């Protein structure tokens, strides 16, 4: 990814290059306006994509007979030379470089002479920036897709490791029913798989070439847009020039997908924060992914999870910023669209490290098995007792009421469901005077009963892991410890 080079004037201060539109104006642009409208510090990260688009455009001008072969060769060599300077970090933004397009064209002209001014034949910065941004975002989506895959693989490692670890599942943050910890991790895998699907869907829609749309009405030169699209890896060329230069749906779609990824990471991070505290005590944080306190020696803070949770707000904010910027724009291009890139860039700069660090941290978390198992029993087994009564013919509503009275009595007496004898249970309903009623009051039995497709039974978790492995989302099976 190209980063904005530092603005540095040349040793001998030369007059800034003339703006291409200065023939229309009789007075120089106010210095404050120059500073207000400049975007090169932000959009220079599109520089290599700008050059790729320019090379393809120059070649199309040659094929159309608009530029002779010798000029095509000079321009392409010059553009490649500029690209090498950018990749080597030698490129210097100069005064007057308003945006990445002007910076590249200015340097190209310095290298090849006046023929550099022909690179912009038949195009506008409107279709140019739309092309650059699609090329850049396409690469980012592919990278983020692979980073999500790494987190899925990390969660798969956790799930395989924790196939014999039980914990209470929660509703309303109250203990509800026992589940496998592996089942819990696999829930996040499903979220991330949907995230990948949204990204890939977005990529498919953004993969349309705007170049050739010109400022808004289309180029006046007979450029073979279909061939340019193939050369740049686009599936097709845009069909309506007005839409092509003003469309930022693909930015919004990406940011919506990114915001949901950030929300999923935030939910996972929140559970890590809760579970690592002594009130839950469900997991031990690895030292390498925690920090201490400057004042309190005993502290071990889940800062990685907290920052992941907190930074989700910046990704969500980027989506809101772009939607708000777009909502009042008439066709076609408006300068407001310059403001799409800072929030987009920030969202990606925030999201990617969150994905990377969570993928590194998750396999290193250590569950406290006994603490989790102890919390998974007790009143979390109440539904098992109600289901037992239903299985012997009692209507569920009646069974629910019976077990509710049992729980209420246990609360008053300070007892757990597992402490009740057959005689205790039978005092609430004669159907509970059965040895099988006691057997259902077991965490392992409760989990094993959820054999229905999608349930928390171990065999379901093992089957899902096998499916993920078949799909190439997980590595080779590891040795599993059975409880």
Burial class (CB in 10 A: 0-12, 13-18, 19+), 435: exposed
pLDDT band at 475 (very low <50, low <70, confident <90, very high): confident
Q: Look at residue 278 and tell me whether its pLDDT is greater than 90.
A: yes
Query: Residue 9's pLDDT is what?
Result: 44
Per-domain boundaries in the chain: 22-121, 126-369, 377-449
pLDDT band at 51 (very low <50, low <70, confident <90, very high): very high
DSSP conformation letters of 31-56: HHHHHHH--HHHHGGGHHHHHHHHHH
DSSP conformation letters of 325-378: HHTTPPSS--GGGGGGHHHHHHHHHHHHHHHHHHHHHGGG-EE-HHHHHHHHSG
Q: Quick check: 44 and 93 in contact, CB under 8 A?
A: yes
**pLDDT tens figures, 247-276:** 999 999 999 999 999 999 999 999 999 999
Q: Sign (positive/negative) of CA torsion 465, 469, 475, 481?
A: positive
pLDDT band at 7 (very low <50, low <70, confident <90, very high): low
Buried b (16+ CB within 10 A) or exposed e, 290-323: beeeeeeeeeeebebbeebbebbebbbbbbebbe
Here the tokens at position 237 are 């060329």
What is the rounded average pLDDT of the residues 455-478? 92
Q: For the chain, first and last CA: distance in Å?
A: 48
Is 264 annotated as catalytic?
no
Is 172 annotated as catalytic?
yes
**pLDDT tens figures, 227-243:** 999 999 999 999 999 99
**pLDDT tens figures, 147-171:** 999 999 999 999 999 999 999 999 9
Is 126-369 in the same CATH topology as 22-121? no
What is the rounded average pLDDT of the residues 399-404? 97
According to the CATH classification, is domain 22-121 in 3.40.50.300? no
Catalytic residue among 2, 57, 120, 172: 172
Query: Residue 28's pLDDT is what?
Result: 79
What is the rounded average pLDDT of the residues 215-221? 96
Catalytic residue among 146, 238, 293, 442: 293
19 secondary structure, DSSP code? P
Please tell me the CATH code under which domain 126-369 is placed.
Answer: 1.20.200.10
The CATH class that applies to domain 377-449 reads: mainly alpha
What CA–CA distance (Å, rounded) separates 483 from 175? 23
Q: Sign (positive/negative) of CA torsion 188, 193, 194, 195?
A: positive
What is the rounded average pLDDT of the residues 348-358? 98
Centre a 10 Å sphere on the Cβ of residue 102 and count the other Cβ atoms it contains: 21
């Amino acid at each position: 990814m190209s980063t904005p080079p530092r603005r540095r004037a040349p040793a001998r201060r030369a007059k800034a290059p003339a703006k291409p539109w200065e023939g229309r104006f009789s007075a120089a642009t106010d210095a404050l306006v120059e500073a207000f409208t400049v975007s090169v510090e932000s959009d220079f990260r599109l520089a290599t994509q700008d050059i790729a688009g320019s090379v393809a455009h120059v070649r199309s001008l040659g094929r159309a007979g608009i530029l002779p072969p010798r000029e095509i060769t000079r321009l392409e060599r010059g553009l490649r030379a500029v690209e090498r300077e950018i990749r080597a970090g030698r490129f210097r933004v100069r005064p007057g470089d308003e945006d990445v397009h002007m910076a590249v064209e200015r340097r190209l002209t310095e290298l090849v002479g006046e023929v550099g001014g022909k690179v912009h034949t038949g195009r506008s910065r409107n279709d140019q920036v739309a092309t650059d941004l699609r090329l850049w975002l396409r690469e980012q989506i592919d990278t983020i897709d692979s980073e999500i895959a790494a987190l899925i693989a990390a969660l798969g490692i956790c799930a395989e490791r924790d196939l014999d670890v039980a914990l209470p599942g929660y509703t309303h943050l109250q203990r509800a029913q026992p589940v496998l910890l592996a089942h819990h991790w696999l829930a996040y895998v499903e979220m991330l798989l949907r995230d990948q699907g949204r990204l890939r869907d977005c990529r498919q829609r953004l993969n349309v070439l705007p170049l050739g749309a010109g400022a808004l009405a289309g180029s006046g030169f007979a450029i073979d847009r279909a061939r340019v699209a193939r050369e740049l890896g686009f599936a097709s060329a845009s069909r309506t020039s007005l839409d092509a230069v003003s469309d930022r749906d693909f930015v919004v779609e990406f940011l919506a997908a990114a915001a949901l990824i950030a929300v999923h990471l935030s939910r996972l991070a929140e559970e890590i924060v809760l579970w690592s505290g002594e009130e839950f005590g469900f997991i031990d944080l690895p030292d390498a992914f925690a920090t201490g306190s400057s004042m309190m020696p005993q502290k071990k803070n889940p800062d990685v999870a907290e920052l992941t949770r907190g930074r989700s707000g910046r990704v969500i904010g980027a989506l809101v910023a772009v939607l708000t910027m777009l909502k009042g724009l008439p066709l076609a291009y408006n300068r407001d669209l310059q403001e799409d890139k800072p929030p987009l860039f920030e969202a990606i700069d925030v999201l990617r490290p969150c994905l990377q660090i969570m993928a590194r941290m998750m396999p290193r978390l250590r569950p406290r098995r006994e603490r989790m198992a102890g919390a998974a029993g007790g009143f979390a087994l109440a539904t098992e007792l109600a289901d037992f009564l239903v299985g012997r013919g009692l209507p569920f509503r009646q069974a629910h009421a019976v077990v509710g009275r049992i729980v209420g009595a246990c609360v008053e007496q300070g007892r757990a469901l597992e402490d009740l004898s057959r005689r205790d249970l039978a005092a609430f309903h004669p159907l509970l005077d059965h040895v099988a009623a006691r057997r259902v009051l077991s965490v392992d039995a409760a989990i094993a009963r959820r054999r229905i497709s999608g349930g928390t039974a171990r065999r379901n978790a093992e089957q899902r892991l096998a499916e993920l492995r078949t799909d190439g989302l997980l590595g080779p099976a590891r040795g599993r410890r059975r409880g």
